[in-house]
Amino acid sequence: MTTTTDDLVPVAGEAAPADPDAAGTAIEGAAPDAVCAAAVDVARAAAVEEAGEAVGEHLGAVSDGDRIATHLFACLDRAYRGWRWGVQVVRAARAKDVTVTGVYRLPGPDALLSPEWVPWADRVRPGDLGVGDLLPAAPDDDRLALAIEDVESDVPLIEWGLGRPRVLSFVGRVEAAERWYDGEAGPDVPQARQAPAPCVSCGFYLPLSGALGLGFGACTNEFSPDDGRVVAIDHGCGAHSEGSADVAAMGVAPALVDEFTFEVVDEPPVEGPAEEPPAGDAAPAE
């Protein structure tokens, strides 16, 4: 709990703390024990023994409990700007003397602190993987599904793994599609907005197979900045195959019919209808 100005009690003969945000772990609203609060010299001696000349002015005392208080001193160590020394003192019931229980450094409101700890699994970001690094997917990664589910399972088969134990799940497909569409391969980047036409009408656009092919494909134009990358159908760039006005005026090429070569095809003989006998040769009725 962070102390306030009211939690810092100046000792008799000293000015009030100059730092209104002096911090320590204190009981809110509780005044420190009078004997513990008056033991400034004892606390300073303990702090000087620990830190030497790095101990500065006394900032006040805060209550840590019944007959327990912490004296705060400014830290003059230039490597710890904004920090302060804390000296905790305690006294037994009916005792007139205090005992120092610990000397430690405490961060103040302006202290330089390390960022909050983030687990390694959550700290790795796209693009962090380098040459030789390994980053296998977790066994419970919801972006992947078993390639072949149990025949008695109600989970439908996503696709044949073809030697892969896991394949992209529905969640993985949706995440990939959203990430691609909202990223540099989507329609909202400046390059796509300035393009003469979308990728879907470009001759260098190669659609993906499967369901993702409905919205994405690969660019195969070596002069395009997206060459070799997955792009959305409404993405675009200046290297569009039909971007020139002369090419666009050509329109769609007519169907070509080869009228100079032919192919011999052997067809089976066609059986005609059975010939009817002459009227005079009709078979007698039985």
- The more confidently predicted of residues 115 and 198 is 198
Say what percent of the chain tops pLDDT 70. 75
**Per-residue pLDDT at 53 exceeds 80:** yes
* pLDDT, tens digit, 9 for 90 and up, residues 54-91: 999 999 999 998 899 999 999 999 889 899 999 999 99
Q: How far apart, in whole angstroms, are the C-alpha atoms of residue 135 and residue 124? A: 9
Please state the rounded mean pLDDT for residues 247-253.
Answer: 62
Give the confidence band of 130 by pLDDT, cuts at 50, 70, 90: confident
CA 229 centroid distance within chain: 21
**The amino acid at 158:** I
Cα–Cα separations (whole angstroms), residue 216 to 70, 161, 181 = 64, 21, 9
CB contact set of 4 (below 8 Å; sequence gap of 6+): 20
pLDDT reported for residue 5? 37
pLDDT band per the 50, 70, 90 thresholds, residue 16: very low
3-state secondary structure of 190: helix
Beta bridge partners of 142: none
pLDDT band with cut points at 50, 70 and 90 for residue 180: very high
Joined together, the tokens standing for residue 70 give 């912490």
Token look-up 């700290």 returns 123
Q: How confident is the model at residue 284 (pLDDT cuts 50, 70, 90)?
A: low
pTM tops 0.75: no
Confidence at residue 163, expressed as pLDDT on a 0 to 100 scale = 67
Task: Give the 3-state secondary structure of residue 193.
Answer: helix
pLDDT recorded at residue 151: 39
User: Greater confidence, 76 or 20?
Assistant: 76
147 or 233, greater pLDDT:
233
The long-range contacts involving 213-221, CB below 8 angstroms and separated by at least 24 positions, are: 215/177, 215/181, 216/177, 216/180, 216/185
pLDDT in the model for residue 43: 93
Q: Is 181 helix (H, G, I), strand (E, B) or coil?
A: helix
C-beta atoms surrounding 13 within 10 Å: 6
Q: Which two tokens stand for residue 145?
A: 């599904």
Which amino acid does the sequence have at 271?
E
Q: Percent of the chain having pLDDT more than 90? A: 44
For position 270, what pLDDT does the model report? 74
Neighbours of 90 (CB within 10 A): 20
Least confident of 68-72, 106-110, 151-155, 200-204: 151-155
